[in-house]
């Protein structure tokens, strides 16, 4: 496991489009699937990473808390399923069911969507406004698996609430930290390593 931080994609970046299968329903999902929502949260997660396991209950709670609000949430797993079978679509489907995720969970087999977002770690979070401009990228909160701080989701929730209230999102954004995305051999992006 290589401890990896977010790349911190520049604020104002337009959300890259994607076309991915949803692991539970198999339905095709793209950026336009969420066009009617004011806020779009894109999360890069996986099943096996201890950093994701540390926050998985909060991710499920986020989904429940914002399910009836003007917020779309999509989680994407881009890990190499051949070498990390826990992150294969069938396993991700079980993960979504076990955790009670109310949000869309997709599998990025080509890893091109992860590259388009410069996703580097699991978990990695990106919040876009109604124009699909990036307003937040960074950590869920200050909690890490071994630092004893409670998992609250406060940094991410504050960004979402600011967009919902038509207020600016704080410039004080700390990178997310986690396991590196497990790139397929020879498919590592230029920003990896």
Give yes or no for residue 33 having a pLDDT over 90.
Answer: yes
Q: Identify the three-state secondary structure at position 179.
A: strand
How much of the chain exceeds pLDDT 90, in percent? 96
Say what the pTM is. 0.96
Residue pair 57/133 in contact by the 8 Å Cβ criterion:
no
Q: What confidence tens digit (pLDDT) does each residue in 83-95 have?
A: 999 999 999 999 9
**What is the residue-averaged pLDDT of the chain?**
96
């Amino acid at each position: 496991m290589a401890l990896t931080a977010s790349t911190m994609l520049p604020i104002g970046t337009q959300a890259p489009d994607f076309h991915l299968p949803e692991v539970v329903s198999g339905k095709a999902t793209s950026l336009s699937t969420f066009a009617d929502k004011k806020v779009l949260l894109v999360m890069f997660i996986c099943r096996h990473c201890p950093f994701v396991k540390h926050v998985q209950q909060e991710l499920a709670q986020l989904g429940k808390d914002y399910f009836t609000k003007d917020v779309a949430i999509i989680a994407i797993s881009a890990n190499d399923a051949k070498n990390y079978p826990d992150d294969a679509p069938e396993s991700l489907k079980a993960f979504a069911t076990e955790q009670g995720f109310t949000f869309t969970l997709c599998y990025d087999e080509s890893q091109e969507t992860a590259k388009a977002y410069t996703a580097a770690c699991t978990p990695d979070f990106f919040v876009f406004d109604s124009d699909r401009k990036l307003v937040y990228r960074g950590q869920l909160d200050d909690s890490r698996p071994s630092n004893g701080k409670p998992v609250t989701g406060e940094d991410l929730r504050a960004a979402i609430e600011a967009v919902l209230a038509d207020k600016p999102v704080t410039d004080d954004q700390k990178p997310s930290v986690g396991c590196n995305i497990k790139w397929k051999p020879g498919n590592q992006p230029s920003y990896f390593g």
